[in-house]
Amino acid sequence: MRVILTSHGSTGDIYPIIALAVALQRAGHHVRFATIPHYQMEIEQAGIEFLPLCPNWAQADLSYWMGRLQKIRTPIYQLRELYVGARPYIPEMIARMDRALGDADLLVSSYLFPMNRMIAERRGVPFATFSFAHHVIPSPDYPPENLPSPAWLGTRTRRAWNRWLWKTGDAIVDRVINGAVAGALRTARLPKVRHFFAAPAECVLVGVSETLMRPRTAELDPRFRFTGYCRWQAPADPTLETELQAFTGGKPVPVLTFGSMVYENPGAVMERFVRSWPKDRRIIVQRGWAQFPQLGDEATFKVIGKVSHDQLFRHASAIIHHGGAGTTASALHAGKPQVVVPHIGDQTFFGMEVERLGCGFRLKRSRWPENLHVTLDRLAANPDHARRAAEVKSVLAREDGPARAIAELEAFVARKARAQSAGPAAVR
């Protein structure tokens, strides 16, 4: 197959798609990854052909928009801000994607960019989406995240209530997206976005562990296919490895990484943290998009730059992170107990999942610099967290997300081909 993959955002939105691209290519398919030039080097280092989409944002631009999103508390308005930021570039992005699909057999897009569906349908190219989380899958057996579904309603009434909530949420999100990008869609002569939750595509890959994350008793539309995690890691840094070994003395220490989260004054946050952290305990802090500065005693605080999660988390006694989809996946694969400090969007959901799995718990963002050491003491005081984290790691080691995803995509394209050859009646 000639496959085009596309996604945008932080590394948590890019690296799973790189993993899928690498696996598809090894399986004999021709793969191109369409995204902004910021990720070109990493995509090409993985051996994947890169297709440039605008805008040509630098790290400072990405950090700026992440900062804007973090100031918005309501997920619906965060979503709107995402499309408002992309709006000036959408016509050119649509034009480039339209040209690229001229010889494609399949388009796989992040679920956050539903306009790709209309481009693919206009071209007659099979379209699938990739979801980094499972809380966007509608079901009559549970409501959308953070909305009430009282048990006292009774099973039949509660299921009807949940259906109504999902249908209403679908309509609201569709309206928000269409309101933000209506002009761009008209320019490209594309129809409005529809069914963001209920039917984003005929095939939706859900890139999390089916064993750990799939609601066992819930009724789900069969278009949603749990594949397991797709994870790509940059090559290890031997120089940094030497530094980390020297810093830790070969003994695990807490590791803090907030990934793509940003702060208006990261120096002030780091100063609060240094003042509160015990002087006799070492900790590794990853700068991330916040660019935390090196403050405090270098024998206590090891502040580092970009490095693969797998390399970094090998040195962790516990992992403190923001609850991003990619970081949560890496922390679960590392088999280490966790403290999740949600900052935005679905990170609270992933923190709740970490708690549900028994691997750790959440800490409020507002006071994490002052409370982290006490929270880590609580985490260490209960060995069940470490035991459960090791069990989760063992489960994940038996799963092969990319292979499962490829099987689903190949079967999907084959079904589409059979339906097309059988004629309109079979398609209906």
Q: Which residues pair with 314 in a beta bridge?
A: none
Start-to-end C-alpha separation, the chain: 25
- Write out pLDDT tens, residues 273-284: 999 999 999 999
Q: pLDDT band at residue 74, thresholds of 50, 70 and 90?
A: confident
In this prediction, residue 424 carries a pLDDT of 60
Q: Report the percentage of the chain scoring pLDDT > 70.
A: 99
In this prediction, residue 203 carries a pLDDT of 97
- Write out pLDDT tens, residues 375-404: 999 999 999 999 999 999 999 999 999 999
Residues contacting 53, CB < 8 A, separation 6+:
6, 8, 34, 35, 36, 93, 96, 97
Closest by CA to 80, choosing from 189, 196, 163, is: 196
Q: pLDDT band at residue 426, thresholds of 50, 70 and 90?
A: low
Asked whether residue 78 carries a pLDDT value surpassing 60, the answer given is yes
Q: What angle do CA 204, 205, 207 make, to 5 degrees?
A: 145
In this prediction, residue 392 carries a pLDDT of 98
The mean pLDDT value for 146-175 works out to 93
Q: Report the percentage of the chain scoring pLDDT > 90.
A: 88
Q: Is residue 133 within 8 Å of 325, Cβ to Cβ? A: yes
In this prediction, residue 133 carries a pLDDT of 92
- Write out pLDDT tens, residues 89-105: 999 999 999 999 999 99
Q: Is residue 203 within 8 Å of 409, Cβ to Cβ? A: yes
More confident residue, 114 or 311: 311
Angstrom distance (rounded) from CA 124 to CA 115: 14
In this prediction, residue 195 carries a pLDDT of 92
Asked whether residue 425 carries a pLDDT value surpassing 80, the answer given is no
Would you list the DSSP string of 109-127?
Answer: EETT-THHHHHHHHHT--E
- Write out pLDDT tens, residues 199-247: 999 999 999 999 999 998 999 999 999 999 999 999 999 999 999 999 9
- Write out pLDDT tens, residues 29-60: 999 999 999 999 999 999 999 999 999 999 99
DSSP summary character for residue 208: S
Q: pLDDT band at residue 428, thresholds of 50, 70 and 90?
A: very low
Closest by CA to 277, choosing from 291, 265, 292, 288, is: 292
Angstrom distance (rounded) from CA 424 to CA 418: 11
Q: Which two tokens stand for residue 8?
A: 């945008």
Angstrom distance (rounded) from CA 37 to CA 200: 26
In this prediction, residue 35 carries a pLDDT of 97
More confident residue, 216 or 408: 408
- Write out pLDDT tens, residues 166-209: 999 999 999 999 999 998 899 889 999 999 999 999 999 999 99
Mean pLDDT of the chain: 94
What sign results for the dihedral spanned by CA atoms 340, 342, 345, 349? positive
Q: pLDDT band at residue 151, thresholds of 50, 70 and 90?
A: confident
Q: Which residues pair with 253 in a beta bridge?
A: 316
More confident residue, 146 or 96: 96
Q: Is residue 47 within 8 Å of 40, Cβ to Cβ? A: no
Chain centroid offset of residue 119 CA: 23
Asked whether residue 296 carries a pLDDT value surpassing 90, the answer given is no
Contacts within 8 Å (CB) and 24+ apart, 170-175: 170/138, 170/195, 170/196, 170/197, 170/198, 172/76, 173/76, 173/79, 173/197
The mean pLDDT value for 258-284 works out to 96
Question: What Rg value do the Cα atoms of the chain yield, rounded?
Answer: 22
